[in-house]
Each structure stands twice: as C-alpha cells, then as structure tokens.
Structure 1
C-alpha cells in the first residue's frame, strides 16, 4: 500500500511533477522486442464470433469467465493480432499468454466449439488449486488468469522517469494519487493494467484527534458486499417465481455498503497521537478503469461449508454512474459505464451449482452455457444468479437522467 504523506514528499522533491494522463501514457509505451509467437491467419478488431467452449470436467466456472473476457474486444484484439510483447521472465514463461492467444485465434476462425485445455494446463502451473475435476469459484479463476496474463505481458519500466511540464495547479491529494499510479504502472504495466486497473483511496480517521491517514491501493476488480437483510422480507419487482423467499437490493446499495464508513474493531496507532486509538475507515474510488469488473459477494463462509446468499440484485445495463462513490476531488471526472457481460451462478447451494455467461454484442444479448449459446432477453439478466458484472466505461459524456435497468 502507498502512503499519501510519502507520495507527497516524493512529488514535492520533483520540480515538475507529471499529471496522471501523461504519466500513464509515458509508462505504457516502453519498448520490448519479444512478441507473442505464431502469427495469426485472421485479425479481429470487432466482436469475436459466437463460439462454445468444451467442458473439461466441471470447468463451467472457467468457461463462463472466458466468455465474458472475450467480450473485452479492445483487450482481446492484441492477442488475436499478436501485438502484445512477452515479458523476459514470468512464472509461466509466457505460456498463459500464448495459450490465451491460441484460444482466441481458434475463435477468430469462427470454429463452432473450441477447447480451452491448453490454457487450463498452463494456468494450473501457477494455480494448482484448479487441477482435477472439482468445482471452483469463477471470480477466483478470473483473478488468477488476469494475474498470469499480467506477469506474462509485463512491460519493463522506463530507463528513467519522464519529466513533463505541469499543466495546471494540482491539489496535493491529486499529486499523491498521480505518484501512486505512476509507481504502480512503473512496476506493473501490462495490457491488463491498461484495461482493468484502478486506484482505491483508503482513509483511516482517528476518533480522538480526527487525523486522517490516506493510502492508495490498485485493484483489478471490486468485491461488493450485500447490504444486511431487513427484518422483514422485501419483495422484489421481479417475477414471483424469482422473488419467493428472497430479499432484494440494487447495485448502488452494494456500492454504498462498499464505500460506507466502518468502525475498526482493533485500535490503530495514530500518526499524530503516536498511540493506538479507536479509528474509522472508508474507501472511495480514486481512479477507474476502462473495463470495470464488479464481484457480488454471494457466498458466506462458516467453519464447515460455503453458503449462497440469494439476494436479488438489480443493476443498470446502461448508465452506471460511479461519481457518487468517488473521492471528493474526483467527482467531476466522468465515470459512466454500460454493462456488456455477466457471470451467473445457478443453484441454491454454495458447494455446487453451475456457471453460465451472458454477453452483449451488435446482435444483442446471448447466453453461453459451455458448448451451447443462444439469444436471450435483457430481462433475464436480473435476479439472484448475477455474480460478476462486467462494465465498459463511456469516453466522456454526462450520465443519463435515469439509468436503464433492462
């Protein structure tokens, strides 16, 4: 984690601190000679063809995640066209990125069904928990896959910091978060960070003297808690079949819960008081990525088992506005997103169940269930199965007055 006071000190030692957009651009243009091998016979800049994925033995959790990831055409195009440089060293020696590129190349050739076996084999080299035929969590798979791709495609840091002219008077907080982002990109620049990475601002406030300690943490996805259920069952506006015995909430309520101030159970040593004090903590969004991945925490854990929470979460398919959950100094920056994919967990049990994906392209919404896929209605996205939501950021523009739910 990156302390704000350390970042501020580092920024002030620089005569001409860089602004955030220029820093990102400079850090992501570092050259590297090696590239993904085996040239592709077909290029794909637009959406990938509709292709089923072979189930390798309870691998629906992986197939559903991959189908959503295939919806990130701006991210996948570099694999299909073999444009991404391979890192000199990585835990998988570049095999995860090459297997992913091979899989996308097969899909780009419009094959009806392809097998992700090579990708799974490469991934289990660094994540052995996915070996065998057991059922696993799709969000855990996504994090391991993105981490593996990021390591395989990590760009080397620039030979020296790039000094750029200052464009305007910048607040100290923004200077600190620019330095935090520059530090993260310097050490972790890759196509994964280009598309999925953002910064969280964590604020811990002393209840005694009100001193605030601020840190910045990078994220590739956000895990959102469900709000506590009310004392009585709240009926959902969805169908009676879905709402039976369930409570409901909105995605915005989950975001409010994620960013709500909480009282810390353990005392924290205050930087001003110099001794442990009761404190409270809050999270806000400092920067946000091109592709926003939101994970709804549907599972609760006991000592013996995992239980599923069937709360019905309604979410906008268009015009999700994150500005109410941003840090105060960042609320004027456009942060509007549109849904393009979901990963759903079907079944009432936390120990079993089945994963499917929904993905939107020019032809509309489509459901992907391992080897099969078929058109679907937007209304079917809402309910108690939605587990991972995939949003794409709009470039500029103000949020609509009323976000569209379906």
Structure 2
C-alpha cells in the first residue's frame, strides 16, 4: 500500500458532471465487467470503464490517454433464493432497491503511471471523486432514463399552477409526512407546501397515500417527489388530476416559493422512471413448449443472449440474425487483434460493433447465470445473464427520433437504419462492408399502353418488402353464443410464391407518354436484375382498420428447402421492343416537373418571381395557387429561394425508394396524427407530390406500402438509371446475374402483438449445434438461447425472413 502517488491532487481530477457518462458496469471494449474476478477499472479522469483481467483494456486506455488513476470495482452477488416472479403490475410499483442490497462491492484506487495499488481513498481529491463515481448511474441506466424522460410533457395544471403564500419547508433530513411518521417516499404539494407520503410500492417501500388523500381533499393536483430532486433540475412530478407523470417548466421557481434551492439538492431515492425501467428489465417471457415443458438452454460460442434493455427486443433479434451471417462475423469478430485505437471507445461505432461480435460469437459470456439458485426440490433451468449492448444502442439511436428512445420499435426499420450506418462507416482494407452481401439490383420496366414503347430503370436495393394478401376465413354462420361470435379472426394461408407473384406482377400507373402523348397510362413491373448473397424480406401483413394500420396474422407458408427465384429475374430489353426517347417527358422516373399553367399564372400575377412560383407549386401538389402562396410566405427567408432548382420526378435512392415529390415534416406529422407511421406517410407524400389529401387516399388504397425509412439527399447521385442501349459507363451492379438463383431460409425475426410498436420480438436462426451434423433451429429470446422444438408455426408469422443464396 502506498499514498505517494503525485496524481491524487491533479487539477484534472474531479467528480463527474450530473449528465456525464460513467462507464462503471462493463468495459467499453468488451463485455468483461465489475462481476469478473479482476473487476473493472474506471478512469477517474474521463470515467471510461476498462477490464482489468487477461485482456486488460484498462491498460490500453491508459497508454492512449495517459490518464493514470483508476477506481477498480469488484462486485459479487449476494446469494438469495429466487422466488416466483412477481405479478405483472398495471401501474408503476417497484421498490427502491439499492445496489448494496444486491451486491457486495470492493473498491481500490490504482495508478498505472506510478504502478501503485490500494492508494488510500482519503488522499488528495480522491474522496469526492470516488464517492461520485460509485453513486452515479451506470451509462446504460443513464441512457434509459434520458430516453424515458423525453416523453414527459407539461399539462394545464403544471403550466397554470397557482401557489399559496411562501413559507419555509423543513429540510428533507428532518421532514416527514404531515399525517404519519414516514420520512421516505415524500411528495411536496406545489400549491400549498403540504408534505405527504406516496402510495405503497411493491417490494417494501412504505406509503399510506397521504399525498393522494391531500389532493382529493384540497384539490391541489401537482406534487413533486423530494427524494428525486437533483441539482440539474430533474425530478418526479405527478399530476393527480391527470393521473400521469408530468413536467414542470418552472420547477425551480415553484420550489423556491417554499424555500427550497434546487441547486443544493442531492437525489436520494430512485425516480419513477428508474423504477419503471427496472420493472421492464425484470419481466420474464415464457420459454415453454406447448405441453408446458421448459426449453433447454444452449451455451457456448455463437449461442450468447442479449439482455433486454427495456423494450430492446426489436434490436436484439436483428443483431442476432446479422451476426449469424459469415459476412458480419468475419468483418467484426477479431478475438486476437488489438481493439481499434480510440480515445472514446464507447462513442466509436467500429469498436462497439466489434464488442458485440466478440460478445455474441466468442462464447466467453455464454454461461448459466450463477446468480440464480434453484430450489433443492426443483429442477429449475438456469439460462444465461446475456450481454447488454447499451453502448451500441446509444450510438445507433443517437439523433434518431425513434431509436434514441426506449419505446418498442419496428425491427425492420431498425434493420434498415443499422445497415445504413454500417455502410457509411469506415471499412479499412482488406475488410469489406458486410452490407454488400445484402445488395442487389431491381430492374423496373415501364411500357406505354398505347404506343408500346418501353423504358427501363435499374435501382440498387438491400431488401424487399412483399405484400401479404389478406383473405378472411368466413366465420361460422350458425354461431349462436357470444363467445362463438367473438372468436378471433382467421385468415387463409398464402405461400411465399403467392406474395412474390404479387410483388413482381404488372400494375397500371397513370402517366402521360412523352412519345405518343397518350394518357392511357403505363404498365409497370419490377424484377430482379441481380441477386444478393443474403436476401432480407419483410412480410407486410397490415391493413387499415378504423383509420389505423393494424397487423393481421396471415400465415405465410415458407419451407426449409431451397426456393428458386429464377422466374423473377428480368430479361432486359427484348427483341422487337422500342425504347422511349431519352428526352421524352413522360412524367415518369427522371423527368422534368411541369408546373400547372393556371396556378403559375395566378402566382405570377401576384408579383412572385417564376422560379419561386415553380418551387411553391412543386412543394404543394401543383394544383392550388392559395396553398402555393402560403408556402411562399413561409419560405421567403430561405437562402436558396431564388436559386434555380432541378424539380425532376422520381429519382431513386439506394434502397430503391422514390425521392420524387415533397415530404415535409409538417405533412408527415399531420398523417402521423391520423395513425400512419412516418415511413408510410413519407412514401405517400412522395407518391402524391406532397398533397396531404391525396396522400390519405393513397394510404388507404395501399395498406401494404413498405414506406420510405430514410431520406438521404446524397443517395440521389447513387441512383442507377439505365436502358439496354446505353449502360457501358455504369459502375458494376451489386449482386450476381447468374442462374440458378436458389435461396434457403436461414433466419427469421418473429413478432407477437397487434402492432409493431408493442408486443415482443424473437429470432430463430438455423445453426449447427455441437456434435450434430444437420442444422437445427435455435431460439434467441433476448438473453435466453435454446434449441427450438418446432418452428413451422413461427415461420408462418415471421416479420422478417433472411434467405441465403445456395
């Protein structure tokens, strides 16, 4: 032991700020954690967490940053027998259990530069820094709390709060409920300053509901939980009138009225948000067969589960599927390599993808949960703890309006978002972008129904979204009882071929031919020009019910045997076909916007320059001069308002999604308020040139629309337009043109629930189990991994199918 370390008084040594991430649970470069024998070294300068075991990523961090002092944390679980899981609560009710209640923790300060261990925690500036690190939320919990807090909004009762005459409130250490002697779980009435205890909470937190009783008696609706107050102004605020958690934008002033300076407050109890997250994380899903037997877990390399971070099953199922493919595993799993050099590994996508690959594929963390002790008279099955990809979730969701939250999300939309981030990231030679395995080309053929001339266009894709025809099985007309009449709807099953036939079938589009000027329209058909190595297919089982997109359980029959896609390959320009002239204005892909002459004349008569008028008509549907005028008034200050614009229709991005038309945020929000999701709204607006009324009609007539998930202006340049006559200068198309094109199902992501934003996602992946020659299906249900018994029914209702070319 030594206290001669010169760094304990360093001016850079200070406690973490309230919102600063503290990585004190697992290493930022692997999933070794405070629960391992060597513990975790938390840097006392930047609060990076580094493992101290055989990999010693903490030493790598010191060598890169020269931050010498670390707090080593070792944690062991207190052995407690697990009782039956708690009943699911309809309202928040979780005990404020502390870490000390669950774990025995040992800490030690070390200096890498001075090569000293067990430095006294009382030396220099260490006491304050060490205490703050141990009290800080872990990074994962901090991100979860922030994600939930984004949901809080004020209400009329917090915005219009009227307070009584100010008086001094007892300090929290001496305060107790005005009706009983409880000193915890206290709520301060912001109207009159009354202190009342909250409702009793599951797990032992006391509460006699005196705060609620005060509200009923005095009709004072808004209260704040004293123990949740923090110096940065966050707190639990509850409106009893709304029966909801709320936000008070004037909380510091409202507290000051009662003599409380929020800047002096220190949080002493778990917030409602933290307790709700804890409830989500504790919930367990069934892992039993139809006859009630629990599935046997699988352990080892490639059989590692992912913890549910509070509704993160949509992410877990996609990650398990992606890293089951050799393209992703070869790209990111490098167990013998030194991690990428990064001063902030938790903020580096390459590092976090490698961390997840190592966690999932190495088998290092795939062990029975040692914290669970089975009863002596039971044969309880122990699953694994699973690894928690909180840092990757934060990076992938950062800046995204949906994935930055902790709400349930659409797994297919997450897949597209993640693939886009991976494509944009750096791929050092000789490592390849693993998304290339998903890329292929679709060729669209347009033929005028009058003159029969054709135009071809080729777009790059990474997936397809196929419509599932919805045909109900008639209910028994002889049903007499209420139960019989209210039985669940059933649907006729369809085959994968049925869906692909619809996806590739001819459809009529209303366009004016630029060659013969006919308005009879065009036939349009899209077929595969090339095939990918991995084909991701999204099955769209949605229809509009009461103005809302509703998921219907239509069975899609998909076999395990290889499936041929040969008949869906485009043959290109055929003998005898005549191409439309390249400069023909058909109103189809790649052609010039033609403004409505009458509307244009009206706007010009008002004195607006022509270029502004054209932009306004393009943005508002090209029909209504009044709507265009309002658009002009709203965009008068735009820096580029007078710059000539290329107002073409129909450029396509790399995902094969049309960028023609306008999808402004206000219009998307208007459609979202009617129950349509943002991707569907964006596609509808693009298909109808930004006209909201037409977009509504379009959505009702296209309930299976896949939606447009990202708008990336830079992808316009990557669109591939071609005709059979001139494509010599094009870059090579992704995928392969060779036949046969046989694909076999390798993985499925399944969803249970009536909405993609609720329910639960799991993945089933075809794997070769140890000691078994033939592949088996393995279930990945968050942290639980088990051999699946029979997945025929699950395959029928999968949301995403991953096929691999044979």
What TM-score do you get using the length of structure 1 for normalisation? 0.67
Deviation of residue 102 (structure 1)?
A: 1.2
Partner of 2:426 in structure 1? 153
Pair 1:70-2:476 in alignment? no
- Give yes or no for contact 1:306–1:350 (8 Å, CA) kept in 2: no
Match of 1:219 in 2: 461
User: Which of 330, 344, 359 matches 1:106?
Assistant: 359
Counterpart of 2:560? 317
Looking at structure 2, the residues matched to 342 and 104 of structure 1 have their Cα atoms a distance apart, in angstroms, of: 19
Q: 1:48 to 1:223 in 2, by over 3 A?
A: farther
Structure 2: tracts of 5 or more residues without a match: 1-27, 32-53, 56-299, 338-345, 367-385, 476-487, 573-735, 770-775
Q: 1:115 aligned to 2:388? A: yes
Partner of 2:440: 198
- Tell me if 1:393 matches 2:805: yes
Distance in 1 (CA, whole Å) between partners of 2:319 and 2:504 is: 29
Q: Does 2:310 match 1:57? A: yes
TM-score by length of 2: 0.35
Deviations 1:249-301 (A, max 9, x none): 0011111010010111x32443x225654111101011111111111012335
Q: Which one of 240, 245, 269 corresponds to residue 490 of structure 2?
A: 245
Does the 8 A contact of 2:473 with 2:490 survive in 1? Answer: no
Q: Per-residue deviation at 1:334?
A: 1.8
2:322 is equivalent to residue 79 of structure 1: no
Tell me if the contact between 1:323 and 1:332 (Cα under 8 Å) persists in the aligned partners.
no
Question: Which secondary structure does the structure 2 equivalent of 1:129 belong to?
Answer: coil
For the residue of structure 1 that corresponds to 2:309, the secondary structure is coil
Q: Which residue of 1 aligns with 2:521?
A: 278
| Residues 9-30 of structure 1: CA deviation (Å, up to 9, x unaligned) | xxxxxxxxxxxxxxxxxxxxxx
Task: Check whether the contact 1:294–1:390 (CA below 8 A) recurs between aligned residues.
Answer: yes
Is 1:357–2:763 an aligned residue pair? yes
SS at structure 2 position matched to 1:339: strand
User: How big is the shift at 1:139?
Assistant: 0.1
Q: Is the 8 A contact 2:473 2:489 kept in 1?
A: no
Supply the distance in 1 between the matched residues of 2:755 and 2:538 (Cα, whole angstroms). Answer: 18
**1:297 maps to which residue?**
540
Q: Check conservation: 2:305, 2:360, Cα contact below 8 A.
A: no
Q: Which residue of 2 aligns with 1:16?
A: none
Higher strand share: 1
Query: Which entry has the higher C-alpha Rg, 1 or 2?
Result: 2
SS in structure 2 at match of 1:65: helix
Q: Report deviation, 1:118.
A: 0.9
Matched residue SS, 1:328 = coil
How much is the aligned-residue C-alpha RMSD, in angstroms? 3.4
Which residue number corresponds to residue 779 of structure 2?
367
Alignment partner, residue 260 of structure 1: 505
Are the structure 2 counterparts of residues 210 and 68 from structure 1 closer, same or farther at C-alpha, using a change threshold of 3 Å?
A: same
SS for the counterpart of 1:273 is coil
Q: Which position in structure 2 is the counterpart of 1:347?
A: 753
Q: Deviation per CA, 1:362-399, whole angstroms, max 9, x where unpaired?
A: 121111111111111354354553110111111xxxxx
Shift of the alpha carbon at 1:197?
0.1
Whole-angstrom distance in 2 between the partners of 1:154 and 1:217: 24
State yes or no: 1:333 paired with 2:739: yes
Gaps of 5+ in 1: 1-36, 85-92, 157-188, 234-242, 395-406
Q: Look up the SS of the partner of 2:529 in the other structure.
A: strand
Could you list the per-position Cα deviations for residues 22-64 of structure 1 after superposition, in whole angstroms to 9, with x for gaps in the alignment? Answer: xxxxxxxxxxxxxxx979999xxxx952011011111111111
Mark the CA change 1:155 to 1:196 in structure 2 (over 3 Å): closer, same or farther.
farther
Preserved contact between residue 495 and residue 558 of structure 2 (Cα < 8 Å): yes
Residues 89-138 of structure 1, C-alpha deviations (whole Å, 9 max, x = no match):
xxxx9833331111111223311311111111001125331122211100
Structure 1 residues 269 and 302: alpha-carbon distance in aligned structure 2, compared to 1, 3 A threshold: farther
Separation in 2, partners of 1:382, 1:229: 19
Distance in 2, matches of 1:232 and 1:211, equals 44
* CA shift for structure 1 position 302: 6.3
Alpha-carbon contact 1:48-1:70 (below 8 Å) kept: no
Contact 1:49–1:107, Cα closer than 8 Å, also in 2: yes
* Aligned partners of 2:422 and 2:435 also within 8 Å: no
Asked whether the 8 Å contact 2:443–2:457 carries over to 1, the reply is yes
Q: Is the 8 A contact 1:94 1:152 kept in 2?
A: no
Equivalent pair of 2:441/2:459 in contact (CA under 8 Å): yes
| Aligned residue-pair number | 305
Q: How many Å separate the matches in 2 of 1:58 and 1:115?
A: 13
CA contact (8 A) 1:314 1:382 kept: no
| Residue pair 1:75, 1:195 contacting (<8 A) in 2 also | no
Judged with a 3 Å threshold, the aligned counterparts in structure 2 of structure 1 residues 346 and 196 are, in CA distance, closer, same or farther, namely same
SS at match of 1:245: coil
Q: CA deviation at 1:315?
A: 0.6
2:275 aligns with none
CA-to-partner distance for each residue in 1:183-234, whole Å, 9 max, x for gaps?
xxxxxx952342110000111111111111110111111100012527858x
**Alignment match, 2:414:** 141
Deviation at 1:317, TM superposition (A): 1.6
Matched residue, 1:181: none
Once residues 356 and 791 of structure 2 are traced to their aligned partners in structure 1, the CA distance between those partners, rounded to angstroms, is: 31
CA gap of 1:332–1:190, structure 2 versus 1, over 3 A, is closer
* Greater relative CO (CA pairs within 8 A, separation 6+): 1
- Deviation at residue 73 of structure 1 after TM alignment: 2.2
Secondary structure at the counterpart of residue 127 of structure 1? coil
